[in-house]
């Protein structure tokens, strides 16, 4: 029998604001991470500070924001009104303190709960806030939310505004690093949603004149879209849309200037509105999937007191535009249905292009209907009788507390061969980490139609494991990690998988869900210490550190790494390389280079990008 635990008044503990934030950071900023994912905590910290500056701009104060990120330190300077000097410390260190509770002052602000800046303060090793108002300046400094210097108010000739400097706590954000591409993407989104605002990131200016039209022009290749972008604006709503040549649906949704990466009620209404508008205009009941296939679109709304489903504000939960007002669904769908239909009546060439794209999708869907049904039946049987997928507990059909939070951190490792999958399976966190084992090299699907997804058993089962048949919004795992050997064959398998995802599910990549697992190449050890090395340079440094003749092991395959060692490489010390698409990336050209008929060039690329030593490269060649 378990020993009874004493439960009395002494068992009840009260935490102050900073202790609670540091104990439960996920409640305030979502997952922590190390910066390899665009929704990792350090980017949420940056966002929380910039949000305040954006709100100042929305209220008509300041047209410029300076942001710098250098050596892990972030600095944000706006030219708004500045925090009232007597409330500077309270605004960054007292929960539920701020100016955004006054609806007249911040009617359609991003942050409403007075928590964001305090979370940044509590989760930083160093935090400094400076406020300038009417020739006077107030400065306060903190460490982990605890004030260390309360500077006296001084005279200054600086422009009004607020400056915030912080360094994320390395004890909480272990091995963190900022990937500047992610921050650039954040900054661009801010400018698209706030036309006329200039944001300088490390000295480079980002600016938008045409809002969401500029966003889609930036995100698309003019040669890869079917018709000129439709751009429509109304009171508190703006949309832009076109159709491309790729599979999937690509959306960018915003609320009050906040990028809602997980969508929400406004995006659901927009998707519904597009379908209704197209059906009405053509007087034909087209299938929903045919209308939405290959769509590229953006939607932005501004509402009073938005309700988000989490502190990170990535998904809108509001059902009403304003207290007592019409529903979000009605507000968005009514605008989209009316304005898109009007636009198509005025632009017959665009209407004809949309019709042709829909009919092409309809033809493709009907061609694979029979194959799809047979493949789905086969996949269900395979899930019952084989062990290709070793799932994680977070996906069990239960109602355990914190399930949704854990699902956000869930991961599927795609491995090659039994030995590698066996090691990862034994080492994984069974709560949130799953393993899918490939059998041999996947098919090179470059240039093939989506029929291959259902005809090829490996791809069909992988699609079902991820639950992406009906779109990435149903993705079962937030992180999809390709885990292959660090050799020529491993690189080839990696490229084959990348081709599969980029060709048929590019929105999974654009959504920041796809990664490459980085594992050590060498183990250098003596009786006292073991050092794992990811490069030849690290190996040489380890040999010098351990001196003598340490034992050196070259991991030529993931299967050579023991489960005990793998626990650290897929645990706290996991290193993930995100797969990202740049602005000028045109998928067709990219895939043609890597997977088309250019074997010598591709072989050269593979060899040049292997993380091995020179003699091994020559041997592989």
- Whether residues 431 and 463 fall in one domain: yes
* CATH number of the domain bearing residue 359: 3.30.230.10
Instruction: Return the higher-pLDDT residue of 99 and 204.
Output: 204
- At 474, the pLDDT band (50, 70, 90 cuts) reads confident
d(CA 458, CA 43): 36
- Whether residues 268 and 221 fall in one domain: yes
Q: Is residue 540 part of a domain?
A: yes
Cβ proximity of 64 and 50 under 8 Å: no
Q: Is residue 2 part of a domain?
A: no
Instruction: Return the higher-pLDDT residue of 20 and 78.
Output: 78
DSSP lists the bridge partners of residue 411 as: 433, 479
pLDDT of residue 141: 96
- Whether residues 357 and 376 fall in one domain: no
* CATH number of the domain bearing residue 485: 3.40.50.670
Q: Domain end: 154, 174, 207, which one?
A: 207
- Among the ranges 34-43, 140-149, 257-266, which has the highest mean pLDDT value? 140-149
Q: Is residue 65 part of a domain?
A: yes
433-471 exposure pattern, b = at least 16 Cβ within 10 A, e = fewer: bbbbbbeeebbbbbebebebbbbbebbbbbbbbbebbee
Q: Domain end: 150, 172, 207, which one?
A: 207
* Distant-in-sequence, close-in-space partners of 280: CB < 8 Å, separation ≥ 6: 337, 341
Q: Is the pLDDT of residue 195 over 90?
A: no
Cβ proximity of 162 and 120 under 8 Å: no
> How, if at all, do strands 522-525 and 551-554 pair?
antiparallel
Which of 204-208, 543-547, 576-580 is predicted with the least confidence, judged by mean pLDDT? Answer: 576-580
Cβ proximity of 310 and 317 under 8 Å: no
Q: Domain end: 181, 207, 233, which one?
A: 207
Angle, CA of 136, 141 and 143, to the nearest 5°: 170
User: For the CA atoms of the chain, what is the radius of gyration?
Assistant: 26
pLDDT of residue 590: 65
- Among the ranges 180-184, 203-207, 435-439, which has the highest mean pLDDT value? 203-207
d(CA 338, CA 274): 10
Q: Is the pLDDT of residue 433 over 80?
A: yes
Q: Is residue 492 part of a domain?
A: yes
pLDDT of residue 127: 96
pLDDT in tens, 76-119: 999 999 999 998 998 888 775 555 544 444 455 555 445 688 99
pLDDT in tens, 300-318: 998 877 666 655 556 666 6
For range 544-566, the mean pLDDT:
87
- Whether residues 55 and 182 fall in one domain: yes
| 3-state secondary structure at position 513 | coil
| 3-state secondary structure at position 530 | strand
Overall domain count for the chain:
4
Cβ proximity of 509 and 502 under 8 Å: yes
Q: Is 207 left (phi over 0), alpha (psi -120 to 50) or beta?
A: beta
Q: Is 235 left (phi over 0), alpha (psi -120 to 50) or beta?
A: beta
Q: Please report how many Cα atoms fall inside a 13 Å half-sphere around the Cα of residue 92, on the Cβ side.
A: 36
The values of phi and psi at residue 342, to 5°, are -60, -45
Instruction: Return the higher-pLDDT residue of 467 and 106.
Output: 467
pLDDT of residue 324: 61
DSSP per-residue codes, 445-510: -TT--THHHHHSHHHHHHHHHHT-TT-GGG-S-SEEEEE--SSHHHHHHHHHHHHHHHHH-HHHHH
pLDDT of residue 142: 95
- Whether residues 349 and 248 fall in one domain: yes
Q: Is residue 4 part of a domain?
A: no
pLDDT of residue 309: 65
- Whether residues 481 and 394 fall in one domain: yes
Q: Is residue 188 part of a domain?
A: yes
Q: Is the pLDDT of residue 10 over 50?
A: yes
- Whether residues 217 and 335 fall in one domain: yes
* Distant-in-sequence, close-in-space partners of 126: CB < 8 Å, separation ≥ 6: 73, 141, 142, 143, 165, 166, 167
- Whether residues 464 and 605 fall in one domain: yes
pLDDT of residue 314: 65
Whole-number average pLDDT of the chain? 83
Of 557, 520, 517, the residue nearest 536 (C-alpha): 520
The values of phi and psi at residue 64, to 5°, are -145, 145
- Whether residues 40 and 86 fall in one domain: yes
pLDDT of residue 300: 92
Q: Is residue 12 part of a domain?
A: no
Q: Is residue 484 part of a domain?
A: yes
Of 119, 116, 106, 9, the residue nearest 61 (C-alpha): 106
The values of phi and psi at residue 239, to 5°, are -135, 155
d(CA 181, CA 190): 14
Q: Is the pLDDT of residue 491 over 80?
A: yes
- Whether residues 229 and 329 fall in one domain: yes
Instruction: Return the higher-pLDDT residue of 26 and 410.
Output: 410
d(CA 445, CA 587): 14
The values of phi and psi at residue 244, to 5°, are -110, -155
- Whether residues 299 and 177 fall in one domain: no
Of 233, 338, 340, 240, the residue nearest 295 (C-alpha): 240
- At 1, the pLDDT band (50, 70, 90 cuts) reads very low
Domain that holds residue 307: 212-363
What is the pTM (predicted TM-score) of this model?
A: 0.74
- Whether residues 480 and 611 fall in one domain: yes
Rounded to the nearest 10 degrees, the angle between the axes of helix 180-193 and helix 212-219 is: 150
DSSP per-residue codes, 63-79: SEEEEEEETTEEEEEE-
């Amino acid at each position: 029998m378990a020993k009874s635990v004493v439960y009395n008044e002494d068992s009840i503990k009260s935490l102050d604001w900073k202790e609670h934030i540091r104990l439960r950071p996920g409640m305030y900023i979502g997952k922590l991470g190390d910066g390899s994912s665009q929704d990792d905590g350090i980017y949420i910290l940056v966002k929380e500070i910039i949000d305040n500056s954006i709100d100042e701009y929305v209220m008509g104060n300041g047209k410029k924001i300076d942001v710098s990120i250098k050596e892990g330190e972030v600095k944000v300077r706006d030219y708004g009104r500045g925090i009232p000097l007597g409330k500077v410390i309270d605004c960054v260190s007292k929960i539920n303190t701020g100016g955004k509770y006054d609806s007249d002052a911040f009617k359609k602000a991003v942050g409403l709960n007075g928590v964001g800046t305090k979370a940044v303060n509590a989760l930083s090793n160093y935090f400094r806030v400076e406020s300038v108002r009417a020739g006077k300046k107030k400065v306060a400094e903190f460490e982990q939310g605890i004030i260390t210097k309360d500077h006296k108010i001084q005279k200054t000739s600086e422009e009004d505004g607020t400056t915030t400097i912080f360094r994320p706590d390395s004890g909480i954000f272990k091995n963190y690093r900022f990937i500047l591409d992610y921050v650039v993407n954040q900054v661009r989104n801010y400018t698209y949603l706030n036309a006329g605002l200039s944001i300088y990131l490390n000295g480079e200016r980002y600016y938008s004149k045409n809002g969401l039209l500029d966003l889609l022009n930036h995100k698309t290749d003019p040669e890869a879209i079917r018709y000129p972008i439709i751009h429509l604006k109304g009171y508190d709503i703006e949309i832009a849309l076109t159709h491309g040549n790729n599979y999937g649906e690509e959306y960018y949704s915003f609320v009050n200037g906040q990028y809602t990466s997980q969508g929400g009620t406004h995006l659901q209404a927009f998707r519904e509105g597009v379908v209704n508008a197209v059906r009405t205009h053509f007087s034909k009941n087209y299938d929903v999937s045919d209308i939405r296939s290959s769509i590229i679109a953006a939607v932005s709304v501004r509402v009073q007191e938005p309700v988000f489903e989490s502190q990170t504000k990535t998904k809108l939960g509001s059902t009403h535009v304003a207290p007592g007002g019409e529903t979000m669904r009605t507000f968005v769908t009514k605008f989209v249905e009316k304005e898109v239909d009007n636009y198509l009546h005025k632009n017959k060439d665009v209407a004809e292009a949309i019709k042709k794209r829909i009919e092409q999708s309809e033809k493709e869907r009907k061609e694979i209907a029979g194959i799809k049904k047979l493949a789905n039946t086969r996949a269900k049987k395979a899930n019952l009788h084989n062990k290709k997928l070793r799932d994680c507990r977070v996906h069990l059909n239960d109602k355990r507390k914190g399930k949704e939070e854990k699902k956000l951190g869930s991961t599927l490792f795609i491995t090659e061969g039994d030995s590698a999958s066996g090691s990862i399976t034994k080492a994984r966190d069974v709560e949130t980490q799953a393993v899918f084992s490939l059998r041999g090299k996947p098919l090179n699907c470059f240039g093939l139609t989506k029929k291959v997804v259902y005809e090829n058993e490996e791809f069909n089962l992988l699609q079902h494991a991820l639950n992406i048949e009906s779109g990435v919004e149903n993705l079962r795992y937030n992180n999809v990690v390709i885990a292959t050997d660090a050799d020529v064959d491993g690189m080839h398998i990696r490229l084959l998988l990348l081709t599969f995802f980029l060709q048929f599910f590019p929105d999974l990549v654009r959504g920041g869900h796809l990664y490459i697992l980085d594992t050590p190449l060498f183990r250098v050890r003596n009786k006292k210490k073991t050092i794992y090395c990811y490069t030849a340079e690290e190996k040489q440094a380890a040999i010098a550190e351990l001196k003598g003749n340490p034992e050196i092991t070259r991991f030529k395959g993931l299967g050579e790494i023991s489960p005990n060692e793998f626990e650290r490489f897929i645990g706290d010390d996991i290193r993930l390389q995100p797969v990202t698409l740049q602005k000028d990336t045109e998928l067709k050209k990219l895939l043609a280079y890597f997977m088309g008929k250019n074997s010598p060039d591709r072989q050269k690329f593979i060899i040049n990008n292997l993380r091995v030593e020179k003699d091994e490269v020559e041997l592989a060649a």
